[in-house]
Amino acid sequence: MKSFYFVAGIAFLFWMLFIDSNDLFSQYKLTRQLKNFRQEKAYYTNKIEEVKKEREELLSNKALLEKFAREKYLMKKKSEDIYVIVEKEE
């Protein structure tokens, strides 16, 4: 009788650890994926805060808004010419 329970227990453990849909490998993959998602969430949360701060600064200062538009989007007035200088990397 003891042998039957031992064999049944080993078979059950084998099934749960390697064959079942929630086996060890699947749990490890899901845990690693969850960790990556949490890191991405933290990164994007920080980026959102930076963009909100930058937006508030731009909306409150007209000179800063004009500077941002000129530098970031290469906007210009009708009477101006824009020259973009790209330095060579060594």
pLDDT at 17: 82
pLDDT at 1: 61
Residue 86 burial (CB < 10 Å; 0-12/13-18/19+)? exposed
Q: Is the pTM of this model over 0.75?
A: no
d(CA 63, CA 70): 11
Q: Which tens digit of pLDDT belongs to each residue from 1-35?
A: 678 888 888 898 888 888 888 888 888 999 999 99
pLDDT at 24: 84
